Amino acid sequence: MPVEFISATFANASTELAPLPAGSPVDVDFLVRYARVLDDYGYNYTLIPYHSGGFDPFTLGATVLAVTKNIKIIIALRPNTIFPTVAARKLSTLSQLGAGRVVVHFIAGGNDAEQAREGDYLSKTERYGRLEDYIKILRRAWSSSEPFDWDTKYYKFQGFANGVLPVNKHIDVSVGGSSDDAYRIGGALGDIFGLWGEPLKETKEQIDRIYAAAKAAGRPDGDRPRIWVTFRPIVAETDDLAWEKAHRTLDLLSKGRNASAGGWPRASVADPQNVGSQRLLEIAKRGDVQDRALWYPTVTATNAQGASTALVGSYQTVIDSLLDYAELGAELISIRGYSNFDDAVDYGRYILPGVRAALAEKAATNGSNGETNGDASKKRKVEA
């Protein structure tokens, strides 16, 4: 099974370990250099993240498309911020500018306070209901320039005709989450489903639930959402050096927990409302290290604020860990470190080629044995 790699793009050099002062501007040279490094090292996608106080993902995404040749941008979008007919045209415009190199990742909204900052006071269930409508409207608007009406609880308009169609009349839609509503909507409507890094057993359980939701929606096995799993690897030449680096990273994260600068939100001391963060914190109680190299102190240090599970080890240890998730069915793997630019280079040099070489070797071996990837994957057991 092929695996594609995702990074994340930021407007300047601010990181959780070395935040720039709040309000720091876009560093155009940094942004361009970072985007080109991702392109040159063979990353397939880069996520343009969203926060109520952050930079506009559409504008940053257009810049990335303009200075790269191959990488696709993933625009993070909250439905409450843009009316769906407007989003349809904006995303279609990016698709035309980038020759189809655009994906949209939907954030239904997992924190009431963050949603309220932009005037959104719907309940969590209502936010997912709105998301379902939103995706259906986009699909319709991307399929044809013929006018259509919409009249539901969340959106009402008449005679909208989209004159800006995306390349091939399609843009991949990504949905993330760990709640029943997320599984249901993402399984039914998503091209991609995003998960945070959990142990293999729990990841397999979530994948099964997503596939079950897709089946319940009438989707055949060949049309199920592709699985996207996210990690924050901490790597070095040897395992010992990687663990030394991990503990230095943890110390800086712990000291900076209450920092708020450079677009990075302040880590909350309150219990998180979203199910994904709650799951990470519960799993963290079972121990610091799980499976090969999945490290959870970074979760507790940040109160599971966003993607926060680390993979710690030598280049080969982390390669082997990522291959474990590929065996489960993860076709997209997001890896972003704590020193964004330097880590992206290290991953591009050592991790991406290693994973791809191992998968190519396995495919060649399976082919010579007359064995399918599915047959091979059945031979590998995941410990509970």
3-state secondary structure 11-47: CCCCCCCCCCCCCCCCCHHHHHHHHHHHHHCCCCEEE
Is residue 271 over pLDDT 90?
no
Query: Torsions phi, psi of 268, nearest 5?
Result: -85, 140
What's the mean pLDDT in 169-198? 96
Q: Which residue has the higher pLDDT, 260 or 122?
A: 122
Is residue 267 over pLDDT 60?
no
pLDDT digits (tens, 9 = 90+) for 108-154: 987 888 899 998 899 999 999 999 999 999 999 999 999 999 999 99
pLDDT digits (tens, 9 = 90+) for 281-335: 998 899 999 999 999 999 999 888 888 899 999 999 999 999 999 999 999 999 9
pLDDT digits (tens, 9 = 90+) for 227-259: 999 999 999 999 999 999 999 999 999 886 544
pLDDT digits (tens, 9 = 90+) for 28-39: 999 999 999 999
Residue 262: pLDDT band by 50, 70, 90 thresholds? very low
For residue 270, the model assigns a pLDDT of: 67
For residue 307, the model assigns a pLDDT of: 86
pLDDT digits (tens, 9 = 90+) for 194-212: 999 999 999 999 999 999 9
What's the mean pLDDT in 346-373? 87
Is residue 373 over pLDDT 60?
no
Residue 269: pLDDT band by 50, 70, 90 thresholds? low
Retrieve residue 318's tokens.
Answer: 């982390």
pLDDT digits (tens, 9 = 90+) for 5-24: 999 999 999 999 999 999 99
Instruction: Domains for the chain: give ranges and CATH numbers.
Output: 4-378 (3.20.20.30)
